[in-house]
Amino acid sequence: MRNLVVILATLFVLPIPATCLSSQFFITLGPEVRYVNGHSTYHISFDSPWASGGHGESELEFPLHNFMAGIHVMAGTRHETGGTQTGGHFSLSLLGVVDKDAGIMKDSDWIENDAAFGETPHEGRDLYTESDARLRGAIFDIKYAYYFKCDQSWTLGPMLGFRYHRFKYDIYGYRGIYWTTPVYGEGKVLEYDVISKIPYIGLTGEELVGHQFRFVWSFGYSDWTEVTDRDDHILRYKLSEGECEGEAYLINVGLDWNFLPQWILSVGAEYVDIDTTGRQHQRFYAGSSAGTTYNVDDRISSSLLSGMVRVLYEF
């Protein structure tokens, strides 16, 4: 164990300022459970001939109302046992979906020329259905921070990280209305796979509250976020693939409790907002429109709010 500590300290911890020579290296490891509430949505817009409907827009909102579980690892230096962190700090989280029932997927469409489909013209949404969503997915987050402030009560420093989301949906059935006509269907109707890659920078800090508690927070921003998705509309034999770029915000707050000398109970909340734009390529791979392709404007967004609990053991 001593050799492992030396290796990790060499790899991940920057030289400690002279004012922090009393700092000591630590590693914490343990399980993490969180409940995530949010969505991943794509919104496309396109222009067709007036006789085919004119301008149109479509939005698919995929739910995320799931428990996730995995592992959390931290390594760094601390002013003293149970004190605030100083110098370099490395953390890693890897989470997977536990509950596969994700909630209700919502599909909305707006058509400019309703008369092209034999419907009475009106304002607002024209087609709307809901379906049941099943989910597989993972979140990976790796972060390095350096705390410049060396004090018994609080620290502050910059951070650099990379975040990865992947959510794969199986969508079953549909029920709703097309203009004024109720519609209903069963079976698998759609498969959706969305991947987000988020390199980010930001600030993080800690404040010691008494002798056993630490308030922790971080704010991250990315202007280099990339999101790709793949939507297989099984009923229509249509495959849509999007590539978008944009920005993301990541906000974390938490409270750590050293309830035993080497044990930490950590609770917290996280908010992640992703907003990207780009293009979507559509291709009909079977049926009467087989071989037909389109390129349309695409916007992929996501908003995730989660609460988490970790039980960590310190080496």
**pLDDT by residue (tens digit) across 49-74?**
999 999 999 999 999 999 999 999 99
Per-residue pLDDT of the chain (315 residues; tens, 9 = 90+): 334 333 334 333 444 343 444 567 889 999 999 999 999 999 999 999 999 999 999 999 999 999 999 999 999 887 654 456 678 889 999 999 988 999 999 999 999 999 999 999 888 999 999 999 999 999 999 999 998 866 667 889 999 999 999 999 999 999 999 999 999 999 999 999 999 999 999 999 988 888 789 999 999 999 999 999 999 999 999 999 999 999 999 999 999 999 998 999 999 999 999 999 999 999 999 999 999 999 999 999 999 999 999 999 998
Class of domain 2-314: mainly beta
Q: Token pair of 218, please?
A: 């971080």
**pTM (2 d.p.):** 0.88
Closest to 190 (Cα-Cα) out of 86, 62, 8, 98:
62
Residue 88 CA to chain centroid, in angstroms? Answer: 26
What are the extents of the domains in the chain? 2-314
d(CA 227, CA 62): 15
- Name the DSSP class of 51: G
**Token representation of residue 250:** 């990541």
Amino acid occupying residue 27: I
